[in-house]
A and B are shown apart, each in its own frame.
Chain A
């Protein structure tokens, strides 16, 4: 049970220092978390948590805890690995109603219980341990991951609540990792009609309060959020409420903006784009960032989310609307070529899920269900199937081919709006309320399955599919081919490189170039001591009386 306690804060007029967030170790403080004495009520003001706490920007070693109080006060988070011993503290003496405290120095993949409060005491806690942070695993870790995906949820009505409750039922009853939700992925339009602060309170915080206290929430900007938020100035409720990494704090490449960003979780790379306010041009800042980011990741899975759907014939039409067409024609060729696996969109208030696709950038009527090897737009022998393990079989993404992605338009977590729902590239099109869950887990053959299920508001699972990467050697370290090549032997124990020069050749010169192409060592010997060279990649230019050639070596 989560308890929001109202305490008496005496003497708000006290002098507070405006220091930065600080972290200290404390003795067990959980015992002081329940009550505070009431003294001098005539000078007292009660402080109540009116929003949150909620978790943002989770990384393997850090997380941001945010909350709002009705009256400005300091910010204190007590946390620890045991509910009975919240022995660490992060705090800020800034007096504010909008609290934001970064917890850092955490261990990866570790559960920390926490409570929030001010200098006077605890303001919100869960005595049953339902307020916690589980830090992200280190990038590259292969493990079970579950993400809850919510598109266009923000109606604040019973439709939204029913969709929420159906997911809660699902996750509570899940045979594996019951109760575990690693992250919430919001696909925009999180609060109708204009994403105002009040609407966010009603449609996000009041609805998902329990989950937001234990699962990091990520989001992209929807058009309704964009009515009150201004990406040009990164201001307005959406940007105030969410805190996203701009400097690659959670992995990926620095975008310099919260409008689009990326993060790693386990062996999945997530790329979040702004399809509403930001330019969608090829060569624009967001495009250049996306290309650099996707070409820099070594993660096994790549998932992207943005609001405007690549394919839809729901309450919007991807054949006629500019943002949808631009995302499809400008971004998808580049993202598909670089191995994107799953594309999550909202905007249309329905559920539409594609076949296993590649290269379909035209209108719906140009979709060709044939395999790409026959000039079509599906991938693999069952790419035009339903992707169900127990039916046409999971979609396969082999090591020898990077093509194949599933596109989901899932914007019915708050309402349904119908439409023709007949896009040819879609395997399933439903005018039903629901949300999606993505689960990545071992396939038992050394690979992994990425499974997405559409969970209806009535608890039914009306669609599911799996992408399998069992043929992939997941997460191998870089191979050591650079350490040794045909013409040389590197003895790491003795720090020696021995060149195997043709017996008819006379060695004249050997030059070592470091990883930025700088000449760092010269020699005329066949056996060369490289003990003083820093770790890294080297190209070795070997010049004999007969020829010049290169070798390479990685000194570790």
Chain B
């Protein structure tokens, strides 16, 4: 098995892809937004409960490849109890992680999210990994229309 491929499909990604965490509708959501990747058909609905500038809870529903589901699942765990401003920084750092070889980011802060670093060797799959994050970014900016990665 090729190393790059093994790096992309690590056990944690396959696990989160097949059994995504926080995979449900949220009744008390303060933000709800749909994200769609028209190229491959990945879609998700993101739910946030934001209170006093803190993300209290994140959940999502949808369907897509292992990379997009795992990314959304890991994001939902990572952002819990984060300040909105900090979440925006994570959005930026995560984007750097999956697109930039010379990214100047603090890997420790990203925690488990770093398992997705292998995506940058697969340019066609970057959109899968960032769909949930773009949806988050737009939701926090008060958008209501479904977003696409195109």
Q: Do A and B come from one complex?
A: no
